[in-house]
Structure 1
Protein backbone atom coordinates (compact mmCIF):
# COMPACT_ATOMS: atom_id res chain seq x y z
CA UNK A 1 0.00 0.00 0.00
CA UNK A 2 1.05 3.61 -0.52
CA UNK A 3 1.91 5.16 2.84
CA UNK A 4 0.21 8.41 3.78
CA UNK A 5 1.36 8.82 7.36
CA UNK A 6 2.84 6.96 10.31
CA UNK A 7 1.65 7.26 13.93
CA UNK A 8 3.65 6.40 17.05
CA UNK A 9 1.82 5.97 20.39
CA UNK A 10 3.60 8.26 22.84
CA UNK A 11 3.44 9.25 26.47
CA UNK A 12 0.97 12.17 26.59
CA UNK A 13 3.36 14.18 28.77
CA UNK A 14 5.74 14.31 25.78
CA UNK A 15 4.47 17.11 23.60
CA UNK A 16 5.74 18.59 20.35
CA UNK A 17 8.54 20.27 22.32
CA UNK A 18 10.08 16.82 22.97
CA UNK A 19 11.02 16.45 19.27
CA UNK A 20 13.74 18.77 18.06
CA UNK A 21 13.87 17.72 14.42
CA UNK A 22 12.58 15.06 12.04
CA UNK A 23 13.49 13.80 8.58
CA UNK A 24 12.41 11.25 6.00
CA UNK A 25 15.24 9.78 3.94
CA UNK A 26 17.49 12.64 5.03
CA UNK A 27 15.07 15.47 4.18
CA UNK A 28 13.57 17.66 6.90
CA UNK A 29 9.93 16.82 7.57
CA UNK A 30 7.17 18.52 9.55
CA UNK A 31 5.64 16.44 12.32
CA UNK A 32 2.64 16.61 14.62
CA UNK A 33 1.73 15.48 18.13
CA UNK A 34 -2.01 14.93 18.45
CA UNK A 35 -4.28 13.80 21.31
CA UNK A 36 -6.29 10.69 20.39
CA UNK A 37 -8.23 10.06 23.61
CA UNK A 38 -8.02 11.23 27.22
CA UNK A 39 -4.50 10.43 28.40
CA UNK A 40 -3.31 9.28 24.94
CA UNK A 41 -1.33 10.98 22.18
CA UNK A 42 0.31 10.09 18.88
CA UNK A 43 3.44 11.44 17.23
CA UNK A 44 2.71 11.72 13.49
CA UNK A 45 4.78 11.88 10.32
CA UNK A 46 1.98 13.38 8.14
CA UNK A 47 1.66 13.71 4.36
CA UNK A 48 4.36 11.18 3.51
CA UNK A 49 2.96 10.14 0.11
CA UNK A 50 5.35 7.19 -0.17
CA UNK A 51 4.56 4.86 -3.11
CA UNK A 52 4.44 1.18 -2.14
CA UNK A 53 7.41 0.44 -4.39
CA UNK A 54 9.68 2.82 -2.46
CA UNK A 55 8.56 2.14 1.13
CA UNK A 56 11.15 -0.58 1.86
CA UNK A 57 14.30 1.01 3.25
CA UNK A 58 12.67 4.36 4.02
CA UNK A 59 14.42 6.04 6.96
CA UNK A 60 12.39 8.03 9.47
CA UNK A 61 14.57 9.94 11.92
CA UNK A 62 13.74 12.22 14.83
CA UNK A 63 15.75 13.73 17.67
CA UNK A 64 14.32 13.57 21.18
CA UNK A 65 15.18 15.99 23.96
CA UNK A 66 13.65 18.15 26.66
CA UNK A 67 11.49 16.19 29.12
CA UNK A 68 11.42 12.99 26.98
CA UNK A 69 14.98 12.49 25.70
CA UNK A 70 14.86 8.68 25.18
CA UNK A 71 12.56 6.27 23.35
CA UNK A 72 11.68 4.67 26.67
CA UNK A 73 10.45 8.00 28.06
CA UNK A 74 8.82 9.09 24.77
CA UNK A 75 6.92 5.94 23.78
CA UNK A 76 3.78 4.84 25.60
CA UNK A 77 4.76 1.18 26.14
CA UNK A 78 7.58 1.84 28.66
CA UNK A 79 9.08 -1.49 27.62
CA UNK A 80 12.76 -0.83 27.01
CA UNK A 81 13.03 1.39 23.91
CA UNK A 82 10.07 -0.21 22.12
CA UNK A 83 7.47 1.93 20.33
CA UNK A 84 4.02 0.97 19.06
CA UNK A 85 3.29 2.38 15.61
CA UNK A 86 0.66 2.26 12.85
CA UNK A 87 1.05 2.82 9.11
CA UNK A 88 -1.84 4.66 7.45
CA UNK A 89 -2.69 4.18 3.76
CA UNK A 90 -2.33 7.20 1.49
CA UNK A 91 -5.54 6.46 -0.40
CA UNK A 92 -8.25 5.10 1.85
CA UNK A 93 -6.77 6.19 5.17
CA UNK A 94 -7.07 2.62 6.40
CA UNK A 95 -4.57 1.35 8.92
CA UNK A 96 -2.38 -1.70 8.77
CA UNK A 97 -2.15 -3.78 11.98
CA UNK A 98 -0.45 -1.90 14.78
CA UNK A 99 3.14 -3.08 15.27
CA UNK A 100 5.97 -2.64 17.73
CA UNK A 101 9.43 -1.58 16.72
CA UNK A 102 12.66 -1.43 18.65
CA UNK A 103 15.94 0.32 18.19
CA UNK A 104 17.89 -2.37 20.01
CA UNK A 105 21.05 -0.82 21.45
CA UNK A 106 23.84 -3.18 22.36
CA UNK A 107 27.41 -3.59 23.36
CA UNK A 108 29.98 -6.15 22.28
CA UNK A 109 32.97 -6.84 24.52
CA UNK A 110 36.13 -8.31 22.98
CA UNK A 111 39.01 -9.28 25.24
CA UNK A 112 42.54 -10.56 24.72
CA UNK A 113 44.58 -11.37 27.84
CA UNK A 114 48.07 -9.92 27.61
CA UNK A 115 47.15 -7.50 24.82
CA UNK A 116 47.51 -3.76 24.83
CA UNK A 117 44.51 -2.39 22.92
CA UNK A 118 44.60 1.23 21.80
CA UNK A 119 42.26 3.50 19.83
CA UNK A 120 43.55 2.27 16.46
CA UNK A 121 43.04 -1.41 17.31
CA UNK A 122 39.61 -0.67 18.77
CA UNK A 123 38.59 1.12 15.55
CA UNK A 124 39.99 -1.76 13.45
CA UNK A 125 38.02 -4.31 15.49
CA UNK A 126 34.85 -2.27 14.91
CA UNK A 127 35.45 -2.46 11.14
CA UNK A 128 36.23 -6.20 11.40
CA UNK A 129 33.04 -6.75 13.41
CA UNK A 130 30.96 -4.83 10.87
CA UNK A 131 32.47 -6.69 7.90
CA UNK A 132 32.27 -10.14 9.52
CA UNK A 133 29.09 -10.35 11.57
CA UNK A 134 26.45 -7.94 10.24
CA UNK A 135 25.37 -9.81 7.09
CA UNK A 136 21.52 -9.86 6.92
CA UNK A 137 21.38 -7.52 9.94
CA UNK A 138 19.71 -4.13 9.58
CA UNK A 139 21.85 -1.69 11.53
CA UNK A 140 20.13 1.34 13.09
CA UNK A 141 23.29 2.83 14.63
CA UNK A 142 26.67 1.72 13.19
CA UNK A 143 28.96 -0.19 15.53
CA UNK A 144 31.98 1.85 16.57
CA UNK A 145 34.66 1.78 19.24
CA UNK A 146 33.00 2.87 22.48
CA UNK A 147 35.97 2.48 24.80
CA UNK A 148 39.16 0.48 25.20
CA UNK A 149 41.36 -0.82 27.98
CA UNK A 150 44.65 -2.74 27.83
CA UNK A 151 42.96 -6.16 27.52
CA UNK A 152 39.40 -5.33 26.44
CA UNK A 153 37.48 -3.18 23.96
CA UNK A 154 33.80 -2.30 23.87
CA UNK A 155 31.96 -1.75 20.60
CA UNK A 156 28.51 -0.19 20.67
CA UNK A 157 25.74 0.28 18.14
CA UNK A 158 22.15 -0.71 17.53
CA UNK A 159 20.23 -3.06 15.29
CA UNK A 160 16.75 -2.29 13.99
CA UNK A 161 14.68 -5.11 15.45
CA UNK A 162 14.60 -8.24 17.58
CA UNK A 163 14.90 -10.30 14.37
CA UNK A 164 18.12 -8.46 13.52
CA UNK A 165 19.35 -9.12 17.05
CA UNK A 166 18.67 -12.84 16.49
CA UNK A 167 20.48 -12.74 13.12
CA UNK A 168 23.49 -11.16 14.80
CA UNK A 169 23.69 -14.05 17.27
CA UNK A 170 23.31 -16.57 14.44
CA UNK A 171 26.11 -14.86 12.52
CA UNK A 172 28.43 -15.25 15.50
CA UNK A 173 27.62 -18.95 15.70
CA UNK A 174 28.15 -19.51 11.96
CA UNK A 175 31.04 -17.16 11.08
CA UNK A 176 33.75 -19.81 11.18
CA UNK A 177 36.53 -17.90 9.41
CA UNK A 178 35.91 -14.69 11.34
CA UNK A 179 35.92 -16.58 14.64
CA UNK A 180 39.14 -18.36 13.66
CA UNK A 181 40.71 -15.00 12.81
CA UNK A 182 39.83 -13.67 16.25
CA UNK A 183 41.17 -16.84 17.87
CA UNK A 184 44.51 -16.51 16.07
CA UNK A 185 44.96 -13.16 17.79
CA UNK A 186 43.69 -14.60 21.08
CA UNK A 187 40.67 -12.29 21.00
CA UNK A 188 37.65 -13.64 22.84
CA UNK A 189 34.11 -12.37 22.73
CA UNK A 190 32.57 -11.69 26.10
CA UNK A 191 29.11 -10.39 26.90
CA UNK A 192 28.03 -10.55 23.30
CA UNK A 193 25.48 -7.92 22.45
CA UNK A 194 24.30 -6.99 25.90
CA UNK A 195 21.29 -4.68 25.69
CA UNK A 196 21.82 -1.38 27.45
CA UNK A 197 20.57 2.16 27.36
CA UNK A 198 22.66 4.95 25.92
Structure 2
Protein backbone atom coordinates (compact mmCIF):
# COMPACT_ATOMS: atom_id res chain seq x y z
CA UNK A 1 0.00 0.00 0.00
CA UNK A 2 1.22 3.47 -0.87
CA UNK A 3 0.94 6.16 1.77
CA UNK A 4 -1.49 8.89 0.70
CA UNK A 5 -1.50 12.36 2.16
CA UNK A 6 -4.86 13.87 3.11
CA UNK A 7 -5.08 16.46 0.34
CA UNK A 8 -2.73 17.98 -2.20
CA UNK A 9 -2.71 21.68 -2.94
CA UNK A 10 -2.10 22.95 -6.49
CA UNK A 11 1.29 24.36 -5.50
CA UNK A 12 2.41 20.89 -4.36
CA UNK A 13 1.48 19.39 -7.72
CA UNK A 14 3.37 22.15 -9.53
CA UNK A 15 6.41 21.66 -7.28
CA UNK A 16 6.44 17.93 -7.99
CA UNK A 17 6.08 18.49 -11.72
CA UNK A 18 8.97 20.91 -12.04
CA UNK A 19 11.19 18.93 -9.68
CA UNK A 20 10.52 15.93 -11.91
CA UNK A 21 11.48 17.98 -14.99
CA UNK A 22 14.69 19.08 -13.27
CA UNK A 23 15.68 15.52 -12.28
CA UNK A 24 14.79 14.11 -15.69
CA UNK A 25 16.52 17.02 -17.39
CA UNK A 26 19.78 15.84 -15.85
CA UNK A 27 19.10 12.33 -17.17
CA UNK A 28 18.34 13.35 -20.76
CA UNK A 29 21.34 15.71 -20.75
CA UNK A 30 23.59 12.93 -19.46
CA UNK A 31 22.22 10.52 -22.08
CA UNK A 32 22.72 13.00 -24.91
CA UNK A 33 19.01 13.46 -25.67
CA UNK A 34 19.45 17.19 -25.20
CA UNK A 35 22.64 19.23 -25.51
CA UNK A 36 24.19 22.17 -23.70
CA UNK A 37 23.84 24.09 -26.98
CA UNK A 38 20.06 23.56 -26.92
CA UNK A 39 19.95 24.80 -23.33
CA UNK A 40 21.96 27.89 -24.34
CA UNK A 41 19.59 28.60 -27.24
CA UNK A 42 16.65 28.37 -24.86
CA UNK A 43 18.20 30.75 -22.32
CA UNK A 44 19.84 33.30 -24.62
CA UNK A 45 17.73 33.14 -27.79
CA UNK A 46 14.35 32.05 -26.47
CA UNK A 47 14.36 28.99 -28.72
CA UNK A 48 12.82 26.62 -26.17
CA UNK A 49 10.40 24.54 -28.22
CA UNK A 50 12.19 21.22 -27.75
CA UNK A 51 13.00 21.77 -24.11
CA UNK A 52 9.73 23.32 -22.97
CA UNK A 53 7.51 20.72 -24.64
CA UNK A 54 9.50 17.52 -25.00
CA UNK A 55 11.31 17.52 -21.64
CA UNK A 56 8.08 17.89 -19.59
CA UNK A 57 6.38 15.30 -21.83
CA UNK A 58 9.33 12.95 -21.20
CA UNK A 59 8.90 13.48 -17.44
CA UNK A 60 5.17 12.78 -17.58
CA UNK A 61 5.79 9.66 -19.67
CA UNK A 62 8.27 8.41 -17.07
CA UNK A 63 5.63 8.95 -14.38
CA UNK A 64 2.99 7.09 -16.42
CA UNK A 65 5.29 4.12 -17.06
CA UNK A 66 6.20 3.87 -13.37
CA UNK A 67 2.56 4.17 -12.32
CA UNK A 68 1.41 1.56 -14.84
CA UNK A 69 3.89 -0.99 -13.53
CA UNK A 70 3.04 -0.31 -9.89
CA UNK A 71 -0.69 -1.06 -10.25
CA UNK A 72 -1.36 2.30 -8.63
CA UNK A 73 -4.88 3.73 -8.67
CA UNK A 74 -3.35 7.10 -9.47
CA UNK A 75 0.02 8.52 -10.44
CA UNK A 76 3.14 7.56 -8.50
CA UNK A 77 4.95 10.86 -8.01
CA UNK A 78 7.58 9.69 -5.53
CA UNK A 79 8.64 6.50 -3.77
CA UNK A 80 5.91 6.72 -1.17
CA UNK A 81 3.26 9.08 -2.56
CA UNK A 82 0.64 8.67 -5.23
CA UNK A 83 -1.62 11.35 -6.66
CA UNK A 84 -5.28 10.39 -7.19
CA UNK A 85 -8.57 12.09 -7.85
CA UNK A 86 -9.35 11.62 -4.15
CA UNK A 87 -6.30 13.36 -2.71
CA UNK A 88 -5.69 15.86 -5.50
CA UNK A 89 -6.63 19.54 -5.59
CA UNK A 90 -10.34 20.14 -6.05
CA UNK A 91 -10.26 22.41 -9.07
CA UNK A 92 -10.91 22.26 -12.80
CA UNK A 93 -7.27 22.68 -13.78
CA UNK A 94 -6.24 19.63 -11.80
CA UNK A 95 -9.07 17.54 -13.25
CA UNK A 96 -8.07 18.66 -16.73
CA UNK A 97 -4.49 17.61 -15.90
CA UNK A 98 -4.96 14.27 -14.15
CA UNK A 99 -7.95 12.91 -16.08
CA UNK A 100 -6.14 12.31 -19.40
CA UNK A 101 -3.00 11.13 -17.59
CA UNK A 102 -4.94 8.40 -15.77
CA UNK A 103 -6.45 7.25 -19.06
CA UNK A 104 -3.04 7.12 -20.74
CA UNK A 105 -1.60 5.26 -17.76
CA UNK A 106 -4.23 2.54 -18.25
CA UNK A 107 -3.48 2.42 -21.97
CA UNK A 108 0.21 1.87 -21.26
CA UNK A 109 -0.63 -0.76 -18.67
CA UNK A 110 -2.75 -2.67 -21.19
CA UNK A 111 0.00 -2.50 -23.82
CA UNK A 112 2.40 -4.31 -21.44
CA UNK A 113 5.53 -2.76 -22.91
CA UNK A 114 8.78 -4.66 -22.99
CA UNK A 115 11.76 -2.96 -21.32
CA UNK A 116 13.39 -2.43 -24.72
CA UNK A 117 10.22 -0.69 -25.94
CA UNK A 118 10.15 1.61 -22.90
CA UNK A 119 13.80 2.58 -23.40
CA UNK A 120 13.28 3.32 -27.08
CA UNK A 121 9.99 5.12 -26.45
CA UNK A 122 11.60 7.64 -24.10
CA UNK A 123 14.24 8.38 -26.72
CA UNK A 124 11.61 8.82 -29.43
CA UNK A 125 9.78 11.42 -27.33
CA UNK A 126 12.85 13.64 -27.54
CA UNK A 127 14.18 12.86 -31.00
CA UNK A 128 11.56 11.56 -33.40
CA UNK A 129 8.50 12.69 -35.26
CA UNK A 130 5.51 10.85 -33.87
CA UNK A 131 2.81 11.53 -36.43
CA UNK A 132 2.45 8.20 -38.23
CA UNK A 133 3.73 4.64 -37.53
CA UNK A 134 6.16 4.86 -40.45
CA UNK A 135 8.01 7.68 -38.68
CA UNK A 136 9.53 4.99 -36.48
CA UNK A 137 10.70 2.71 -39.29
CA UNK A 138 14.36 3.73 -38.99
CA UNK A 139 14.43 4.32 -35.23
CA UNK A 140 15.01 0.76 -34.08
CA UNK A 141 11.72 0.57 -32.19
CA UNK A 142 11.36 -3.16 -31.35
CA UNK A 143 7.71 -3.64 -32.40
CA UNK A 144 6.76 -3.56 -36.09
CA UNK A 145 3.05 -3.60 -35.20
CA UNK A 146 1.67 -0.39 -36.71
CA UNK A 147 -1.40 -0.42 -34.47
CA UNK A 148 0.82 -0.61 -31.39
CA UNK A 149 3.04 2.14 -32.75
CA UNK A 150 0.04 4.34 -33.52
CA UNK A 151 -1.30 3.91 -29.98
CA UNK A 152 2.04 4.92 -28.45
CA UNK A 153 2.43 7.86 -30.84
CA UNK A 154 -1.06 9.06 -29.88
CA UNK A 155 -0.02 9.01 -26.21
CA UNK A 156 3.13 11.03 -26.96
CA UNK A 157 1.15 13.60 -28.97
CA UNK A 158 -1.42 13.91 -26.22
CA UNK A 159 1.28 14.41 -23.58
CA UNK A 160 2.89 17.09 -25.71
CA UNK A 161 -0.52 18.71 -26.20
CA UNK A 162 -1.09 18.85 -22.44
CA UNK A 163 2.34 20.39 -21.91
CA UNK A 164 1.77 22.89 -24.72
CA UNK A 165 -1.41 24.08 -23.02
CA UNK A 166 0.34 24.27 -19.65
CA UNK A 167 3.21 26.27 -21.15
CA UNK A 168 0.86 29.19 -21.79
CA UNK A 169 0.54 29.75 -18.04
CA UNK A 170 2.90 32.45 -16.64
CA UNK A 171 3.76 30.18 -13.69
CA UNK A 172 4.89 27.45 -16.07
CA UNK A 173 7.11 29.76 -18.12
CA UNK A 174 8.78 31.28 -15.06
CA UNK A 175 9.43 27.97 -13.32
CA UNK A 176 10.63 26.30 -16.50
CA UNK A 177 13.13 29.09 -17.22
CA UNK A 178 14.48 28.69 -13.70
CA UNK A 179 15.01 24.94 -14.03
CA UNK A 180 16.70 25.38 -17.43
CA UNK A 181 19.12 27.83 -15.82
CA UNK A 182 19.87 25.27 -13.11
CA UNK A 183 20.61 22.61 -15.74
CA UNK A 184 22.85 25.05 -17.60
CA UNK A 185 24.87 26.04 -14.53
CA UNK A 186 25.33 22.39 -13.56
CA UNK A 187 26.42 21.50 -17.10
CA UNK A 188 29.01 24.30 -17.09
CA UNK A 189 30.30 23.22 -13.68
CA UNK A 190 30.57 19.60 -14.83
CA UNK A 191 32.46 20.67 -17.95
CA UNK A 192 34.85 22.83 -15.93
CA UNK A 193 35.49 20.00 -13.47
CA UNK A 194 36.20 17.58 -16.31
CA UNK A 195 38.69 19.98 -17.89
CA UNK A 196 40.39 20.54 -14.54
CA UNK A 197 40.65 16.78 -14.04
CA UNK A 198 42.20 16.35 -17.48
CA UNK A 199 44.78 19.05 -16.73
CA UNK A 200 45.75 17.33 -13.49
CA UNK A 201 46.19 14.01 -15.30
CA UNK A 202 48.53 15.51 -17.87
CA UNK A 203 52.25 14.92 -17.11
After TM superposition, the score normalised by the length of structure 1 is 0.24
Which structure has the bigger radius of gyration?
1
Compare the two structures and name the one with the higher helix fraction: 2
TM-score by length of 2: 0.24
Compare relative contact order (CA 8 Å, sep 6+) and give the higher one, 1 or 2: 2
* Greater percentage in strand: 1
